[in-house]
Amino acid sequence: MSEQFGKIYDQYVEKIYRFIFLKVESQEVAEDLCSEVFVCCLEEFQKNSIENTQAFLYQVARYTIADYYRKRAGVKVVSIDEADDIFEEKPTQLQEAAVAAEMEEVRKALARLRDEYQNFIIWRYLDELSIPEIVQITGKTEGNVRVGIHRALGALREEMKERANVQV
Amino acid sequence: MEDKNLIAQISHLKEIKPRQEWVVLTRQRLFEEKAFGPIPEQTRYEVNLQKGGFWATIEGIASFMARSLQKPAFVIPMLALIVAGGGVGRAAYESLPGDKLFPIKAAAEQVYLRFAGEEERPAREFALAQQRLADLRAVAEQNKVKNLPLAIREFEANASKISEGFLQIVENQPSRALQASRQIVQLQKDKLEVEQILGAKIGEEQEEEVRKATRRLVEYELGFLETRSLTEEQAVLFENAKASVGAGDYESALEYIWILSQGAQDES
């Protein structure tokens, strides 16, 4: 059983961590919450069989994040700009610097979207989940998920456009 | 911007990854603490006794000693046995958390602690916490990954005792607390070094308790010093301590108070 759970951990730890980090924007908090998610998953794993591990992990992660913000009365302590050290240091070559800057822009724009849109973008384009997989996590219909992803992408584009205009 | 370009930009976020040390440590902790269930305190040194062979015998002896040492009547014979054990005794003394002979060492330490009077107890608990930190450092430096979770747990258990003890001293005997605080500050510094080796934080809960106690102690000491007449040099230290408090840096404030109090003792 422990070996089986080890495989689950290895398979999902990066995804769940990234999912949480993009919402809490603090390495320490993301690590704590991610640990909580896996502890919860393991407890459930020991008690009952989990039908869909991936969906279960994302659902627990969402509740854990919501709980975190509820306890902190919705105040985000660490600003997006303060959380830069999460990325591995890159050589200062122009091309890589440009990629890092782009990534930063997307991250900040993403953080400003409503929670549901953030989830759609993370699941579809970062974690590369299929539409049926997202349906299993959200409980929405396939049509709603497709529309949601489309709108989320549009909202992100708008956000990035706004940010670019502000910077000009 | 086309969808394709936007999606390409989003995929840059795949670079976000957790620290490798954290991933390994969390995996270890999950398995040690949860997968096999928490180890009950009273049977902590009795694990893995079902194995056969030489180590089962050694572990059996270790467990027997651990249990026997909790009964005062058995203490002296057991310690004699450990001494007579010679090589085994020495190996146990040098063992680290997770090693086969560590239970003997831990049991002997518990006896050392149990026979301490109220006065001596905090100093002994502090010495044990220092020892566990030294063990943890050795485990980390020797890259004994399997031993790491137990070494951390052992340190945190000891650190928890001394932070509780420190809090009690601050509450009940504040005049003695300044001396104790020096040891705590030293332990915190040593812990920081070990954290740098591990690449992870340890004993955060205990640290918070110590921070609270330090704050209370600093406030008590400053209140006391305000009622005293100070030399010019002491007054400067006193002001520095107050400035550190203003900046929320209670550890530095404690340093100033310590230097000030040492000067005062020298004069008297």
Those residues of chain B that have pLDDT short of 50 are 35-60, 70-74
Work out the minimum CA distance from A141 to partner chain B, whole angstroms: 23
Those residues whose C-beta lies under 8 Å from the C-beta of residue B260, and which sit 6 or more positions away, are B225, B230, B234, B237, B238, B241
pLDDT score recorded for residue B187: 80
Q: Using CA coordinates, name the residue in chain B closest to A110.
A: B10
Round to whole Å and give the CA distance between A82 and B26.
Answer: 25
Inter-residue contact B104 to B67 (CB < 8 Å): no
Which of A39, A99, A102 minimises the CB distance to B30? A39
Q: How far, CA to CA in Å, does B178 sit from each of A131, B86, B173? A: 63, 41, 10
Which of B16, B22, B30 minimises the CB distance to A42? B30
Q: B146 touching A, CB under 8 A?
A: no
**List of domains in chain A:** 1-75 (1.10.1740), 92-168 (1.10.10.10)
Percent of chain A at pLDDT above 90? 30
Which of A9, A42, A157 minimises the CB distance to B1? A157
pLDDT at A19 over 80: yes
DSSP class of B40 = P
Q: B242 touching A, CB under 8 A?
A: no
**A145: pLDDT confidence band, cut at 50, 70 and 90?**
very high
Q: B4 touching A, CB under 8 A?
A: no
Q: B183 touching A, CB under 8 A?
A: no
Lowest mean pLDDT among A47-56, A146-155, B25-34, B219-228: B25-34
pLDDT at A57 over 90: yes
pLDDT score recorded for residue B265: 56
CA-based nearest residue to A102, from B129, B208, B14, B113: B14
**A108: pLDDT confidence band, cut at 50, 70 and 90?**
confident
pLDDT at A91 over 80: no
**A83: pLDDT confidence band, cut at 50, 70 and 90?**
very low
Query: What percent helix, strand, coil does chain A show, rounded to 5?
Result: 80, 0, 20
- Is B214 or A155 the better-scoring residue by pLDDT? A155
Record the tokens describing residue A46, joined without a space: 């020991």
pLDDT at A82 over 60: no
Round to whole Å and give the CA distance between A122 and A124.
Answer: 6
pLDDT at A149 over 90: yes
Contact check, Cβ <8 Å, B26/A126: no
SS3 B197: helix
Contact check, Cβ <8 Å, B12/A106: yes
Round to whole Å and give the CA distance between B248 and B111.
Answer: 40
pLDDT score recorded for residue B1: 65
**A74: pLDDT confidence band, cut at 50, 70 and 90?**
very low
Contact check, Cβ <8 Å, B17/A153: no
Round to whole Å and give the CA distance between B90 and A6.
Answer: 37
Mutation choice for A interface testing from B1, B15, B20 by most A CBs within 10 A: B15
Which of B16, B27, B29 minimises the CB distance to A18? B16
Residue for token pair 């003792």: B265
Report the half-sphere exposure of B109 (CA within 13 A, side-chain side).
21
Record the tokens describing residue B30, joined without a space: 């999950």
Contact check, Cβ <8 Å, B15/A87: yes
Task: Give the other-Cβ count within 10 Å of B7's Cβ.
Answer: 14
Contact check, Cβ <8 Å, B31/A38: no
pLDDT score recorded for residue B196: 79
Which of A35, A87, A126 minimises the CB distance to B10? A126
Q: Using CA coordinates, name the residue in chain A closest to B28.
A: A6
- Chain A environment of B38 (Cβ under 8 Å): none
